[in-house]
């Protein structure tokens, strides 16, 4: 019997206890450690932990499996790393005792390529990959990208546009009447009527186009657990938090909204009136709080999309359960070429989910939500130990990742207030009084990792949220980061320097950037380091006039900076900024200037890109930043106490324990 359960609201445990009393001893009840945590039961009859999720019949034979329960289909190459959503879901299913196989980047014109491991017993789970497939394929100028970071060798055209729709059809062709579950960030952002920038048109929900059985939005562990259990028991899939389903005509007519569901403008209404997209996006955002948010419905002709309220975020204990699963931390051995996206995260540590910032252009918050979940220090140190065992590890950890590094360990003073809160951002228009940007947890973690034998460098490439970095409660953390965790240059994201534009973005005021720059320069000097600040700036954000862009241009002139990276605005589905772009209005309904074609956009791109005079921050400075970083590395290498191939894992954790006891 291969079943498991991760949610506490079921009689399923009772059933199993009656049927198989012997396995009851294997049940584990895991209580979350933080106060706001859910109580979770995770009982696992026979968790499976192959080195990699099987990809073909040979892999199945080696494991001695005669079939798979679930087939995972993804648009990315398969990398068994917790930064990859499909790997997390696969590992979770294995942990629950389900045998799953994975087909990565299938030939979407050939249904037979899904049959390499036979028909799955329960269902197919489909994702476009770690990015929306259109975004993976096309640039902001709607041209083909030269590489696909999630493919071996960066090879392009390994996935179709609208991959969730295409793959779902492929699954249905390969296995008749198979239930198909779709999820992942691209699907999440396209779950309602949305504007597709690359096709330049309004589109219905991806659930309508794909005809999948159910759509999972947000981070999917809890929803997937419940869906799998229902599939196993032959139960209907409706009513699961964090999912959306489609009702036929009769069921739609009979559906009772009560106080639990809010009606969104229909697809037809959107087609007649452009402004409806802004209205519906605001309503969706308003209902995103998992504790007080309601369900949403949207008519597509006579069918009705029903979205259940969001799943509650994972507690620290649950995050640890997820991230401590036995990931190989590597691409599947069948790939000969390097996968560019993996190279950048090979030795980085995913630590935080969610973002309280609520920036209007960001797809992450529309997908992961505003509530922060983070791993415990112990779990993260476990990953550090794993790196130390890796022969490719040279002593540099490239990041402790999340939407921003300095949201790790942040808390709130009163949880009940948050459970009723409808604010779209905890930081905008000003930092909420209830938010505690506590810098101590990250500071403690950084110090601990820094003191670990075998770790030479720890960089924070996720960047810092400026409003928090300049807050007194993070003073010590900010200093520590600038002194020890900058890789020659540090990226920060003011995004713009005009007050009206940053307000439209819901970003920190420009003063925070100026304040941080001063701190950065002073502390770099104190640390006797030559390192540079790289401001990330956006051109052509909806509502930005050319005069407002010149505010940024003038500042760059004054500082003699030539930015290496220019982000030209891309309207993502389900974001307020995407709706502003489509409607040509700000969230209050005022008309705004929007630059659409490349010709209109060029002026603002040029304002950012143009080369400043001599001495500006150019490629040379980047090299100098790198040289400084290399110098540090050499210095550290000469210090034999800081470099070592490292004692074995057990010795290291014993050492750490001893250190902790001493400090206690």
Instruction: Enumerate binding residues for ligand SF4 (CB under 6 A).
Output: 356, 412, 417-418, 421, 423, 426, 432, 434-435
Tell the smallest beta-carbon distance from residue 358 to ligand SF4 (Å): 9
For ligand SF4, the closer of residues 428 and 582 by Cβ is 428
Tell the smallest beta-carbon distance from residue 32 to ligand SF4 (Å): 19
Q: What is the dihedral of CA 592, 595, 601, 606, to 10 degrees?
A: 0
Residue ranges of alpha helices (H) inside 460-526 are 466-469, 475-484, 499-505, 510-526
Q: How far apart are CA 538 and CA 544, in angstroms?
A: 10
Residue ranges of alpha helices (H) inside 41-119 are 57-63, 85-95
For ligand SF4, the closer of residues 414 and 664 by Cβ is 414
Q: How far apart are CA 375 and CA 380, in angstroms?
A: 7
Tell the smallest beta-carbon distance from residue 464 to ligand SF4 (Å): 19
For ligand SF4, the closer of residues 219 and 418 by Cβ is 418
DSSP 266: P
For ligand SF4, the closer of residues 125 and 408 by Cβ is 408
Please choose, from the candidates 198, 79, 55, the residue with its C-alpha nearest in 3D space to the C-alpha of residue 136.
198
558 exposure class (CB count in 10 Å sphere: 0-12, 13-18, 19+): exposed
Strands (E) across 470-584 are located at 489-495, 532-539, 567-568
- For 17, phi and psi rounded to 5 degrees? -60, -40
Q: What angle do CA 657, 660, 662 make, to 5 degrees?
A: 110
Dmax of the chain from CA atoms? 78
Q: Are strands 352-353 and 373-374 parallel, antiparallel or unpaired?
A: antiparallel
Please choose, from the candidates 179, 175, 65, the residue with its C-alpha nearest in 3D space to the C-alpha of residue 114.
175
DSSP 663: H
Residues 6+ apart with CB under 8 A from 236: 230
- For 481, phi and psi rounded to 5 degrees? -60, -50
- Whether the upstream peptide bond of residue 429 has omega within 30° of 0, thus cis, is yes
- The CA-atom distances, in angstroms, between 417 and each of 166, 246, 292, 295, 434 are 43, 33, 11, 21, 8
For ligand SF4, the closer of residues 296 and 418 by Cβ is 418
Residues 6+ apart with CB under 8 A from 84: 76, 78, 130
- The CA-atom distances, in angstroms, between 339 and each of 200, 231, 398 are 30, 34, 17
For ligand SF4, the closer of residues 278 and 412 by Cβ is 412
Does residue 82 sit in helix, strand or coil? coil
Long-range Cβ contact pairs of 37-41 (< 8 A, separation 24 or more): 37/315, 37/316, 37/317, 37/318, 38/8, 38/312, 38/315, 38/318, 39/8, 40/6, 40/7, 40/8, 40/315, 40/317, 40/318, 41/5, 41/6, 41/7, 41/8, 41/13
Q: How far apart are CA 433 and CA 413, in angstroms?
A: 8
Q: How many CB atoms lie within 10 A of CB 282?
A: 13
Please choose, from the candidates 295, 286, 297, 274, the residue with its C-alpha nearest in 3D space to the C-alpha of residue 195.
274
200 exposure class (CB count in 10 Å sphere: 0-12, 13-18, 19+): exposed
- For 363, phi and psi rounded to 5 degrees? -80, -20
């Amino acid at each position: 019997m291969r079943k498991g359960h991760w949610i506490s609201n079921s009689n399923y445990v009772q059933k199993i206890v009656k049927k198989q009393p012997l396995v009851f001893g294997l049940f584990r009840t895991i209580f979350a450690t933080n106060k706001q945590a859910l109580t979770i039961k995770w009982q696992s009859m026979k968790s499976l932990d192959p080195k990699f999720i099987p990809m073909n019949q040979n892999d199945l034979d080696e494991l001695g499996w005669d079939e798979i329960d679930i087939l995972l289909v993804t648009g990315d190459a398969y990398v068994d790393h917790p930064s990859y959503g499909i790997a997390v879901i696969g590992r979770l299913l294995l942990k629950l005792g389900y045998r799953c196989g994975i087909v990565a980047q299938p030939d979407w014109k050939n249904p037979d390529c899904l049959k390499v491991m036979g028909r799955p017993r329960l269902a197919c789970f489909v994702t476009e990959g770690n990015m929306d497939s259109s975004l993976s394929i096309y640039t902001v100028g709607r041209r083909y990208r030269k590489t696909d970071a999630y493919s071996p060798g960066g090879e392009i055209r390994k996935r179709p546009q609208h991959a969730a729709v295409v793959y779902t059809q492929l699954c249905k062709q390969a296995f008749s009447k198979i239930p198909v579950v779709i999820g992942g960030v691209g699907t999440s952002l396209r779950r309602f009527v949305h504007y597709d920038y690359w096709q330049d048109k309004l589109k219905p929900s991806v659930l309508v186009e794909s005809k999948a059985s159910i759509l999972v939005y947000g981070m999917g562990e809890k929803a997937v657990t419940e869906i799998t259990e229902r599939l196993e028991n032959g139960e209907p899939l409706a009513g699961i938090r964090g999912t959306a389903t489609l009702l036929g005509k009769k069921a739609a007519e009979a559906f009772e909204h009560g106080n639990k569901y809010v009606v969104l403008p229909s697809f037809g209404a959107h087609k007649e009136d452009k402004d409806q997209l802004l209205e519906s996006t605001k309503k969706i955002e308003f209902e995103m709080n998992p504790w007080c948010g309601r369900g949403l419905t949207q008519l597509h002709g006579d069918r009705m999309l029903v979205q259940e309220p969001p799943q509650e975020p994972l507690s620290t204990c649950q995050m640890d359960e997820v991230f401590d699963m036995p990931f190989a931390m590597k691409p599947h051995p069948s790939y000969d070429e390097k996968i560019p996206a993996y190279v950048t995260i090979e030795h980085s540590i995913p630590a935080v989910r969610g973002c309280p910032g609520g920036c209007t252009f960001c797809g992450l918050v529309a997908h992961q939500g505003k509530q922060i979940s983070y791993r415990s220090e112990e779990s993260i140190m476990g990953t550090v130990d794993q790196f130390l065992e890796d022969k490719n590890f040279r002593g540099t950890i490239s990041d402790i990742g999340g939407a921003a590094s300095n949201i790790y360990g942040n808390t709130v003073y009163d949880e009940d207030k948050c459970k009723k809160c409808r604010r779209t951002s905890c930081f905008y228009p000003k930092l909420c009084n209830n938010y505690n940007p506590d810098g101590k947890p990250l500071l403690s973690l950084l110090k601990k990792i820094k003191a670990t034998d075998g770790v030479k460098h720890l960089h924070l490439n996720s960047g810092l949220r400026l409003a928090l970095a300049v807050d007194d409660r993070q003073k010590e953390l900010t200093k520590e980061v600038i002194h020890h965790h900058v890789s020659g240059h540090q990226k920060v994201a003011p995004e713009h320097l005009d007050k009206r534009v940053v307000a439209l973005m819901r970003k920190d005021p420009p003063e925070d950037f100026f304040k941080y720059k001063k701190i950065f320069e002073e502390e770099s000097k104190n640390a006797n380091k030559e390192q540079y600040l790289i401001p990330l700036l956006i051109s052509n954000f909806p509502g930005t006039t050319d005069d407002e862009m010149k505010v940024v241009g003038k500042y760059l002139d004054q500082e003699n900076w030539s930015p290496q990276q220019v982000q030209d605005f891309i309207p993502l589905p389900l974001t307020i900024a995407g709706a502003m772009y489509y409607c040509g209005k700000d969230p209050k309904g005022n008309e705004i200037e929007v630059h659409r074609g490349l010709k209109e956009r060029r002026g603002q791109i040029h304002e950012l890109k143009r080369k400043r005079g001599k001495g500006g921050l150019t490629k040379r400075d980047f090299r100098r930043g790198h040289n400084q970083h290399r110098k540090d590395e050499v210095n550290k290498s000469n210090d034999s106490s800081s470099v070592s191939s490292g004692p074995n894992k057990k010795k290291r954790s014993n050492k750490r324990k001893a250190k902790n006891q001493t400090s206690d």
